[in-house]
Amino acid sequence: MAIIRQYLPTDRSALVDIFQRNVPTFFVTEEQSDFEDYLDKFADTYFVREHYGRVVGGGGYYLKAGDTVGSVSWVLLDPAYQRVGLGRQLMSHCLGLIRQYPAVQKITVSTSQHVHEFFAKLGFMTTRIAANHCANGLDLYAMEIDLTMQVLPSEMADLDLIFTFYDLATAFQKTVSAKHWLGFDRQMVEQEIRENRQWKLMLAGKVAGIFATTFNDVQFWGEKDQQPSIYIHRIVTHPDFRGRSLVRGIIHWAKQFAVENDKQFIRMDTWGDNDKLIAYYQRLGFAYIDTIDLDQTVGLPKHYTGPLALFEIAVN
């Protein structure tokens, strides 16, 4: 039986042993004294993961009453129990406790290139990378969850802003690729707004990104469109917010949205010859499904030409 409970002094030796077995992949030996010091000072917000009576990992958080920023600290698992969901459950427990503090606006974590994907799946976004910061070959990834981030339906008053975002995205596409968007029909976007299928991602009261959704995309997906899915189109991040992994935040939202609407998949598409963007979507957790040639483009935006790559994430 697996349980999560508060740390006890009798857990110390087991946790130190787990720490040592994660050197040098996740930690360096010099950090052990810092870890033990942390256990001495912040035992009340540190938790252990038991699996059938055996301590197999630990993790905690640091936060004082009134703080606006909480930090996840010293997350470690026995190598034999990694990648089976125990760490995710432990972190979900800690994040849930942090969110109970009404003043908290942000949750941070400092990790490495080996674990940042794990935290990204929990909703953390990368804010800074420092090569060889922790040790030679061990990079620092500073990550955060901005609790002020909201995904809200766009309104008609946002229409001009949406097209400003499209213009910004098109200008950027022209600097990195021969293919770019060729404009969008205003009536199409107005209809999406009326149907609550246009969305804006808010950070600190500012529109940081936009995207559109639909529940049907038979023109691209054919018979697979019968599978309950949410389809995401036209993601744009404002230049002021690039590099903050906002697309991961959108995916995190989409997973919850899919569950609420009884959908089994989150799906996207892109140009089939854009290897860089294809690799990017795969790093985000999308599985490549197929590359298709569009037979009919009637009713589609003008940029839909040539091969189209299809991707999906199965919603657990």
Domains and their CATH numbers in the chain: 2-146 (3.40.630.30), 150-314 (3.40.630.30)
pLDDT at 161 over 70: yes
- For 195-249, write each residue's pLDDT tens digit: 999 999 998 789 999 999 999 999 899 999 999 999 999 999 999 988 777 888 8
pLDDT at 135 over 80: no
CA dist., res. 202 & res. 204, Å (int): 7
Cβ atoms of residues 187 and 162 within 8 Å: no
Q: What's the pLDDT band for 137 if we cut at 50, 70, 90? A: confident
140 CB burial (10 A radius; 0-12, 13-18, 19+):
middle
Q: Tell me what the mean pLDDT of segment 250-264 comes to.
A: 93
Per-residue pLDDT at 296: 67
- For 28-69, write each residue's pLDDT tens digit: 999 999 999 999 999 999 999 999 999 999 999 999 878 899
Q: Tell me what the mean pLDDT of segment 65-77 comes to.
A: 93
Per-residue pLDDT at 302: 78
- For 265-316, write each residue's pLDDT tens digit: 999 999 888 888 899 999 888 999 999 987 766 677 877 777 899 999 999 7
Q: What's the pLDDT band for 146 if we cut at 50, 70, 90? A: confident
Cβ atoms of residues 281 and 268 within 8 Å: yes
Neighbours of 212 (CB within 10 A): 21
C-alpha to C-alpha distances, 199 to 45, 108, 211, nearest whole angstrom: 37, 26, 5
